[in-house]
Structure 1
Amino acid sequence: MPFPIHRPRRLRKSAAIQRMVRETVLTPDDLILPLFVCEGKNVRTPIGSMPGIDRLSIDLLGQEVKEAHSLGIPAVILFGIPDHKDAQGTEAYNPDGVVQRAIREIKSKVPEMVVVTDVCIDEYTDHGHCGLVEGDEVVNDPTLELLARMSLTHADCGADIVAPSDMMDGRVQAIRKALDENSHQSTLIMSYAAKYASAFYGPFREAADSAPQFGDRRSYQMDPGNSDEALREVEQDIEEGADILMVKPALPYLDIIRRVRDTFPVPLAAYNVSGEYSMLMAAAEKGWVDGDRVMLEVLLSIKRAGAQMILTYSAMPAARLLNG
């Protein structure tokens, strides 16, 4: 048989040609940096299960965000660790709470940075659940008012985007209504629309001190075996007013990212979560993989699957590599 006319290797003959025909390109513009904010002064506490990631007090945020901005990272997402927790999660919607003050600090120091805030009460409750608890049940509807109040305090302080991660039914509608009725029509909602009950969240729960004190979160986070359900969740959040959708985690759910991207013409984010980050860091520290190359390959895979925004703890080192 004659040799085939088509030789795909011709398109790989040099690095320059490879760049010319590359289908997916990763840039710092694609990245969102998560930050853990705590009370105190001059506090930088390393998180044992997440090498390279620290809890930061508000006075140290400015420099961290300035560095991220200088690398071309367009946005940060804030998670608060309060000193006081109670059953109602009251610090979550305290107008002078840790995240509320952090928003003001960032906007005063780096006004160009897009500030996203996580909207969930699990970090603020003594029981560690994402909703109010009655008996041994996490109740849905009474939680919605608290999520709306929390979002409103974030918007009042200057947050550009609020990101509900609780997975309570109807939360996007409740938040959109509260924002619109209080002159925050331009505040975006990035909905954790398809958030799975995943074992990959373990290191985050150490970082945010938010592990449930009883039971688990499978009554409100999604079953990992379900794909069609993710599309129903996403569609409902679009109907309720979400501006940006999110799939979480990213790597075990690349198929979900692709299905959402192919089905809905709405901006899409994906969360490269703590367990994914920590596994890579552990393997790199052991010398089992080239950490930098694998990090960029992981992030590229998430973008190739269809995510336009990637929340990742690797944002800073990835941006440095991408900038050359």
Structure 2
Amino acid sequence: MTFDRHRRLRRTATMRSMVKETTLSVADLVYPLFVVEGKHIRNEVASMPGVEHVSLDELPKDISDIQELGIPAILLFGVPGAKDDVGSQAYADEGIVQRATKLIKELAPDLLVIADTCLCQYTDHGHCGIIHDGYVDNDESLSLLVKTAVSQAAAGADVIAPSNMMDGFVQAIRQGLDEHGFVDVPIMSYAVKYASSFYGPFRDAAHSTPQFGDRKTYQMDPANRLEALREAVSDVNEGADMLIVKPALSFLDILRDVRNETNVPVVAYNVSGEYAMIKAAAQNGWLSEKETVQEMLTSMKRAGADIIITYFAKDVARWLKEEQE
């Protein structure tokens, strides 16, 4: 009887390590941070165990931990003390993200600060743009997104990551950054962002739940695949330097498509609902957190991601460090 003996390359841990096709590294990881107004605040997000709201006076500890673990980048979200219908705190010179960025760059100049560029956390209606007659006005919203991006770059953000899903947002932000002298600041576009049910815990963390309706008129239908490629190609043509696919786990096919169809770095966003599911199951003893997380993130790398945004970044960094020791 003749057949292929594939198991020869699985006999020992050393052999399996040598022939491993996809590896996960701390250099792949981006850790999201939520900064809030006030002092002496360090509050865990109820639906995201281990993820906290942190005030600026508490932030140095987090930055020190992130540096010690070797995580190269953070994605910065702000929760303002006040909101209005145009999200003015998103682009205020002394907004929470702007102040946090300045502080982080003082504490850790080499740590890459990626600024989430959107209005939803800052508007009293919870939508990502200006509302007219119950509908998000695409073109009018662009000017405020440009102001937000420019203010973040001026504060020292290394990367602008617009997440609003307005048509033309990459082109508008690229032009705005260039006109203000920030020609070297790259755009990490949320190019493919689905209207997903996996965002629930994040909306608790960012206080960004829409006060009416939903975001299905600007975020993508999870049933659509070809539309994702149109979105990705449009953003590259408009000047995006990196492309995010969000969420990642339910859209690994889209990750691979975007990787195959574009030649810029592709970013997987391992979102809050994916994080919360594994945390809940692990706390109930239903699965091994470490092994499940590593398998999940490796699947994102295998699907084509160059970078992974994940709330597990600190955990993964610790596990990888322990394995090396």
TM range (shorter): over 0.9
Q: Which residue of 1 aligns with 2:201?
A: 203
1:156 to 154, 164, 179: 154
* C-alpha distance in structure 1 between counterparts of 2:233 and 2:293, whole Å: 31
Q: Which residue of 1 aligns with 2:20?
A: 22
| Alignment of structure 1 residues 1-324 onto 2, 5 Å | 2-4=1-3, 6-324=4-322
Code of the residue aligned with 1:156 in structure 2: it is: A
User: Given that residues 173 and 240 in structure 1 are in contact (C-alpha distance below 8 angstroms), is that contact kept between their aligned partners in structure 2?
Assistant: yes
- Could you tell me how far 1:169 is from its partner in structure 2? 0.3
* C-alpha distance in structure 2 between counterparts of 1:247 and 1:302, whole Å: 10
**More deviation in 186-195 or 69-78?**
69-78
* C-alpha distance in structure 1 between counterparts of 2:172 and 2:153, whole Å: 14
Unpaired runs of 5+ residues, structure 1, are: none
Q: Deviations over 1:143-198 (max 9, x none)?
A: 00000000001100110000000000001011000110111000010000000000
TM-score using structure 2 length? 0.98
- Say which SS state the counterpart of residue 187 (structure 2) adopts: strand
> Aligned-residue CA RMSD in angstroms?
0.7
TM-score using structure 1 length? 0.98
User: Given that residues 26 and 299 in structure 1 are in contact (C-alpha distance below 8 angstroms), is that contact kept between their aligned partners in structure 2?
Assistant: yes
Code of the residue aligned with 2:38 in structure 1: it is: G
**More deviation in 212-221 or 38-47?**
38-47
- Could you tell me how far 1:13 is from its partner in structure 2? 1.0
* C-alpha distance in structure 2 between counterparts of 1:126 and 1:290, whole Å: 40
Q: Deviations over 1:45-69 (max 9, x none)?
A: 1100001110001122222122112
* C-alpha distance in structure 2 between counterparts of 1:188 and 1:57, whole Å: 27
Aligned length in residues? 322
Code of the residue aligned with 1:120 in structure 2: it is: C
Unpaired runs of 5+ residues, structure 2, are: none
User: Given that residues 62 and 110 in structure 1 are in contact (C-alpha distance below 8 angstroms), is that contact kept between their aligned partners in structure 2?
Assistant: no
- Could you tell me how far 1:3 is from its partner in structure 2? 2.9
Q: What is the identity percentage for the equivalent residue pairs of Structure 1 and Structure 2? A: 52
User: Given that residues 188 and 242 in structure 1 are in contact (C-alpha distance below 8 angstroms), is that contact kept between their aligned partners in structure 2?
Assistant: yes
User: Given that residues 283 and 289 in structure 1 are in contact (C-alpha distance below 8 angstroms), is that contact kept between their aligned partners in structure 2?
Assistant: yes
Q: Where has structure 1 moved over 3 Å in runs of 4 or more?
A: none
Q: Deviations over 1:97-120 (max 9, x none)?
A: 000000001000011100001000
* C-alpha distance in structure 1 between counterparts of 2:183 and 2:168, whole Å: 18
- Say which SS state the counterpart of residue 33 (structure 1) adopts: strand
* C-alpha distance in structure 2 between counterparts of 1:114 and 1:66, whole Å: 14
- Say which SS state the counterpart of residue 223 (structure 2) adopts: coil
Code of the residue aligned with 2:284 in structure 1: it is: K
Code of the residue aligned with 2:281 in structure 1: it is: A
Code of the residue aligned with 2:148 in structure 1: it is: M
**More deviation in 278-287 or 60-69?**
60-69
**More deviation in 56-65 or 297-306?**
56-65
Code of the residue aligned with 1:261 in structure 2: it is: R
- Could you tell me how far 1:266 is from its partner in structure 2? 0.9
